[in-house]
Structure 1
Amino acid sequence: MPIECGRTKAAEAGDMRALRIAATPHVEHYTLGLYGELASRARITLVTLRRFDLPVDQVVTPRVPLPRMRTLLRDLALRSISGSVNVVHANCSAEGMVVPQKDKLVVTEHGFPDPSVVEESSRWFYVKERASLLKLAELGVPIVAISNFTAKELREKLGVTASAVIYHGVLDIFRAQAPRTHPKRHIILWNSRLVRFKEPRVLLEAVEKLRGKASFSARLRGDGPLKREIKVLIERRGLSGTVSLSEPVPFRDLPSLYSSATIYVHTCSREPFGLAVLEAMASGLPVVVPKSGGAYEVAGSAALPFEPGDSSSLAEQLLALMEDPELYEKMSERSIRRAGEFSWKRAAEEYLALYERVAR
């Protein structure tokens, strides 16, 4: 079964930029943002399981009926292409292990692979990722962390020293033109995976404490192993009239999702970065985050912080935003200003500098 190869017009015309890079994708926000910026500065070949709307060459693995066979085909394509490029950028360590020429490799670790904090169904991947990361670090492969918090976790928990910390950017589709005004009724948004690591119960407990104190509703958007448990918890605590639980929205609908809310809440106290927090800030939403982890690092003084895992502390900050129009509008303005400090252009420049060092 052939592997689909896409060629850009520039490639067809024989355009040969200085650096040739093979890369694997990550989430859509990251893939579009980073490789969209890099496309004009280097020759990118994306080795992927699906096609992205990007002006780069793409090798897309075909769909096959056998479990994990498609990933195996992707790995074979990456191995084959790696011999004809200057740099291979893998977005997880397990993918990096596939590359024969480790001296060409750069790996971005989008977190810290700790099998003890994930559900049983995902543990096998974290075990594999952890072993792969330790091996690559031992071989001297440059490891990029996505926040200082993540770099610290890698160093203290695994003994891995990151070669660089490179922040994500935010796509222009999320950027608001003006701060929000204080609404008559609030809609609190939580948008993440429904897993224990993300601590969604903290928000439900805070909502329960706020009952009768303000006019608001809360929306939990996401999917995952805790979905049934969260749904039952909402019903048992009599929160069905206040809290709604729904499926994740497609990437193209995310800007509308943020626009429909008035406050964004993040509850994970060990978040590696917090891309959703950054996008919510860019859209002008006041954000409330735990006083720890990558989300706190990203939001900085633009967020109202609460004590990690403390639903009473979270409820106090939410109530302050809902009751104080001046505070609400000030925090909306701060969100936009803080998000303006993050860009995919800057991230691309930092990655390009790292690629050039590896390619020497």
Structure 2
Amino acid sequence: MKIAIEAQRIFRPNKHGMDFVALETIRQLQRLDTENEYFIFVGDGPDRCLEESPNLHIVTLRCLSYPLWEQWALPRAVRRVGADLLHCTSNTAPVCAHTPLVLTLHDIIFLEKQTARNPSLYQSLGRLYRRLVVPRVLPRCRRIVTVSQFECDRIRTALGLDPARIVAIHNGYNPRFRPLENCAEVTRKYLPEERYLFFLGNTDPKKNTPGTLRGYADYVRRSAAPLPLLVADLTEQDTQAILRQIGEPNLREMLRLPGYIPNGDLAAVYNGAAAFLYTSLRESFGIPQLEAMASGTPVVTSNTSAIPEIAGPGALMVDPTSPAQIADALLRLETDTDFRREQIAYGLERAKCFSWEHTARELLALYRSLK
């Protein structure tokens, strides 16, 4: 088969979750499958993180906006190469296209009521675009792929889909996330302290940044020697607004705000952290908690949505809306040496249940079933 894969954002320097899912899966398909021919459709960008091979071709399409790229340029380019199948990897797809379609629908958060207003105009416009496009695309999908059984059940129930049309294929994590030594050289780029807590926060309401900071503030008040909190992906302006919102302006002195942390540094940052906070309100999978577990870092995670499915029964889970539970979990990791050791050992074993190779093998089987 000639298989076209949409991976529009994988060459941008500041990649996020869906970008890495597409990139890592494509790399494994490239390694595993020499039978089919792949055409990877990307946007222009400086991070050339994927190389061509005899049966994998990279096609760069340039457009003024993402909607034009996806709705106009992509279907025309796919038709030119004569693809037998188009796999769109990031929730949306061309509304008017004739190539058989596989869609990865990571979640339907954009169809759900928001817990709070999102101050990011970019994220709000993306939400609106998905609300307009996805209902129009779903009827023509040969298969819909999502990333957890939780999300599979939720999508099927909410949208009334035939169970045979949707399948759950778990994500993986990169094996470079593993226990490392001598990480201080990397972590010093982001904060001076050698011991710290780590949180990937942003303004998306589902990430629960205000609730997480409330829990951290409670921990700071109750700990005999509180550790600073390294918060990635959060600007000074947004931080100040959140601290005013939760009534904790003095907490700023305990926060370290480096902005975006490149993926290449994340393994060292996880390793250096005394604990990783993954206290989201809603996730369809949760790659960061796997990365932290695989790095030998204890994780405080949520008991909501797909997170328990991925974290497993032995994980340290809390109600993310309870600041006291977040603080209790951090304090227990800080004061109970045996429990901390057990959580590290559990995380290392749990992470072994997931890999990008397994993801790619399941996806390849799906492609072959559609011949």
Q: TM-score range by the shorter chain?
A: 0.7 to 0.9
Q: Answer yes or no: is the 8 Å Cα contact 2:75–2:94 preserved in 1.
A: no
Q: Which residue of 2 aligns with 1:221?
A: 232
Q: Answer yes or no: is the 8 Å Cα contact 2:92–2:137 preserved in 1.
A: no
Q: Which residue of 1 aligns with 2:173?
A: 170
Q: Which residue of 1 aligns with 2:332?
A: 320
Q: Distance in 2 between matches of 1:119 and 1:194?
A: 7
Q: Which residue of 2 aligns with 1:85?
A: 83
Q: Give CA-to-partner distance per residue, 1:91-148, whole Å, 9 cap, x none.
A: 23432425322xx210001111226326273344323323433233333531111112
Q: Answer yes or no: is the 8 Å Cα contact 1:149–1:294 preserved in 2.
A: yes
How far off its partner does 1:281 sit?
1.2
Q: Distance in 1 between matches of 2:102 and 2:339?
A: 43
How far off its partner does 1:89 sit?
0.6
Q: Which is worse superposed, 28-37 or 153-162?
A: 153-162
> In the superposition, relative to structure 1, how do residues 136 and 146 fare at CA in structure 2: closer, same or farther (>3 Å)?
same
Q: Answer yes or no: is the 8 Å Cα contact 1:202–1:310 preserved in 2.
A: yes
Written as runs of structure 1 = structure 2, the 5 A alignment for 1:92-131 is 92-101=90-99, 104-112=100-108, 113-114=110-111, 116-117=113-114, 119=118, 121=121, 122-131=123-132
Amino acid at match of 1:119: N
Q: Distance in 1 between matches of 2:239 and 2:369?
A: 45
Amino acid at match of 1:266: Y
How far off its partner does 1:217 sit?
1.6
**Which portions of structure 1, spanning 4 or more consecutive aligned residues, are displaced by more than 6 angstroms?**
none
Amino acid at match of 2:57: D
3-state SS in 1 of match to 2:328: helix
Q: Distance in 2 between matches of 1:74 and 1:158?
A: 23
Q: Answer yes or no: is the 8 Å Cα contact 1:21–1:85 preserved in 2.
A: yes
Which stretches in structure 2 are left out of the alignment for 5+ residues? 10-17, 182-192
Amino acid at match of 1:111: D
3-state SS in 2 of match to 1:99: coil
Q: Distance in 2 between matches of 1:109 and 1:191?
A: 23
Which stretches in structure 1 are left out of the alignment for 5+ residues? 1-18, 179-183
Residue of structure 2 aligned with 1:49, choices 24, 31, 43: 43
> In the superposition, relative to structure 1, how do residues 205 and 192 fare at CA in structure 2: closer, same or farther (>3 Å)?
closer
3-state SS in 1 of match to 2:281: coil
Written as runs of structure 1 = structure 2, the 5 A alignment for 1:349-360 is 349-358=361-370, 360=371
Q: Distance in 2 between matches of 1:175 and 1:99?
A: 42
Q: Distance in 2 between matches of 1:209 and 1:73?
A: 46
3-state SS in 1 of match to 2:313: helix
Written as runs of structure 1 = structure 2, the 5 A alignment for 1:1-360 is 19-25=1-7, 27-40=18-31, 41=33, 42-50=36-44, 52-55=48-51, 56-62=56-62, 66=64, 68=65, 72-73=68-69, 75-83=71-79, 84-101=82-99, 104-112=100-108, 113-114=110-111, 116-117=113-114, 119=118, 121=121, 122-160=123-161, 161=163, 163-176=166-179, 186-210=195-219, 211-215=221-225, 216-223=227-234, 226-230=238-242, 232=244, 236-358=248-370, 360=371
> In the superposition, relative to structure 1, how do residues 149 and 314 fare at CA in structure 2: closer, same or farther (>3 Å)?
same
Q: Answer yes or no: is the 8 Å Cα contact 1:186–1:263 preserved in 2.
A: no
How far off its partner does 1:324 sit?
1.0
How many positions carry a matched residue from both structures?
A: 331
Q: Normalising by structure 2, report the TM-score.
A: 0.80
Q: Distance in 1 between matches of 2:206 and 2:274?
A: 25
Amino acid at match of 1:21: I
Q: Which residue of 2 aligns with 1:6?
A: none
Q: Distance in 2 between matches of 1:191 and 1:81?
A: 36
> How much is the aligned-residue C-alpha RMSD, in angstroms?
2.8
Q: Which is worse superposed, 230-239 or 154-163?
A: 230-239
Q: Normalising by structure 1, report the TM-score.
A: 0.82
Q: Distance in 2 between matches of 1:279 and 1:37?
A: 18
3-state SS in 1 of match to 2:283: coil
Q: Give CA-to-partner distance per residue, 1:316-347, whole Å, 9 cap, x none.
A: 11111111111111111111111111011110
Identity %: 23
Q: Distance in 1 between matches of 2:276 and 2:320?
A: 16
Q: Distance in 1 between matches of 2:294 and 2:303?
A: 20
Amino acid at match of 2:167: A
Amino acid at match of 1:221: A
> In the superposition, relative to structure 1, how do residues 297 and 50 fare at CA in structure 2: closer, same or farther (>3 Å)?
farther
> In the superposition, relative to structure 1, how do residues 57 and 80 fare at CA in structure 2: closer, same or farther (>3 Å)?
same
